[in-house]
Amino acid sequence: MTILVTGAAGFIGATLCKRLLHDGHEVVGLDNFNDYYDPQLKHDRVTDVQQYALEQNKPNFKLKKLGLSDKDGVEQLFKEFKPTAVVNLAAQAGVRRSLQDPTPYIESNIVGFTNILEACRYHNVGHLVYASSSSVYGANTDMPFSVHKPADHPLSLYAATKRANELFAHSYSHLFNIPTTGLRFFTVYGPWGRPDMALFSFTKAILNGETINVYNNGEHQRDFTYIDDIVEGIVQVIANPPQGNPNWSGKNPEPASSTAPWRLYNIGNSKPVQLMTYITALEKSLGIAAKKNFLPLQPGDVPATWADTKDLLVDFGYVAKTEVAAGIEQFVAWYKKYYSQKH
């Protein structure tokens, strides 16, 4: 297939591009290389993908620098490459930043996503897979979080934009018969990760002898999911566009499916881990004890996440396989190698 990956210079996007190339697909990457965090890391991820393609004799990777909010640019991209499937991972990320500066979230996550939907509508795309987020569960406390229960009380603008993506996708699936699948990611971590995520920032601080901020007094629980497990799930989903659910009823509307070719799935490890346990595993991997500054729960944060992933198991046989300690070791090995090459 020819697969368009938006956010191709991002953490998940770059890793997915390598896997799709490995599997023999033609991959078109799109990214705007914004400065939400160090753009050099994004460029280095792309270089890593390009080197992989060269080494493996897989010359089927093209990259376009483009923002999703550029409607004409997105339209031209679809005209030129005619993607069979689209994986939309491009978004303005970060729960806390959305409290201070909402505009980029609207431009990328709402306007940009609509541009992708419109392009899929007019260019006969066979399947749109897009990144949603565990943050859509917001004020829900009934765990594990299930796609079969409502998620209508987001606690941040970022979460609200992700929930909006799910609803926009349903409208397009219903009106124009575009198969769409939303994947609610749960705290992704691993090599090439984002500097604003806890594992990256903790590792940097601990190695520099600096104090780490531990929010919610360390009582956070997160369903930490290793990057390779996330990518495996995406790949399985791409190849299987959803069908309409013939048993769906408007009298008792089931939230994760529809009469339209539209589905929602959680993708996570299904094993919530206490933040302090996560930090302890990192300390062990680094061989250094962290200096900790305990702080209260931050606005927009949720105290716990836990994914019910039974639907992915039933529909695709998917199970996340990587234990947190092993995943952290892989990240630390990558981090040390990457930054040793920078000096």
- pLDDT score of 94: 81
Q: CB neighbours of 199 closer than 8 A, spacing ≥ 6?
A: 189, 193, 278, 282, 328, 331
- pLDDT score of 164: 98
137 is catalytic: no
- Would residue 275 count as lying in a domain? no
Q: Which of the following is catalytic: 105, 137, 158, 265?
A: 158
Question: Distance between CA atoms of 204 and 330, rounded to whole angstroms?
Answer: 15
| Per-residue tokens: 163 | 């929930």
- The SS3 of residue 39 is helix
**DSSP letter assigned to residue 69:** T
- Would residue 204 count as lying in a domain? no
Model confidence band, residue 222 (pLDDT cutoffs 50, 70, 90): very high
- Would residue 285 count as lying in a domain? no
The CATH number that applies at residue 9 is 3.40.50.720
Q: Is the pLDDT of residue 342 over 90?
A: no
Mean pLDDT of all residues in 180-190: 97
Amino acid, single-letter form, for residue 285: S
The string of pLDDT tens digits covering residues 299-340 is: 877 888 999 999 999 999 999 999 999 999 999 999 999 998
Q: Which domain holds residue 243?
A: 2-186+227-268+307-322
Domains in the chain, number: 1
Closest residue by Cα to residue 53 from 89, 31, 26, 35: 26
- Would residue 341 count as lying in a domain? no
Strands (E), the chain: 2-6, 26-31, 61-65, 85-88, 127-133, 180-185, 188-189, 211-214, 221-222, 225-226, 262-267, 273-274, 291-294
- Would residue 121 count as lying in a domain? yes
Bond preceding residue 261 cis, omega within 30 of 0: no
| Mean pLDDT, all residues of the chain | 95
- Would residue 40 count as lying in a domain? yes
- Would residue 95 count as lying in a domain? yes
- Would residue 20 count as lying in a domain? yes
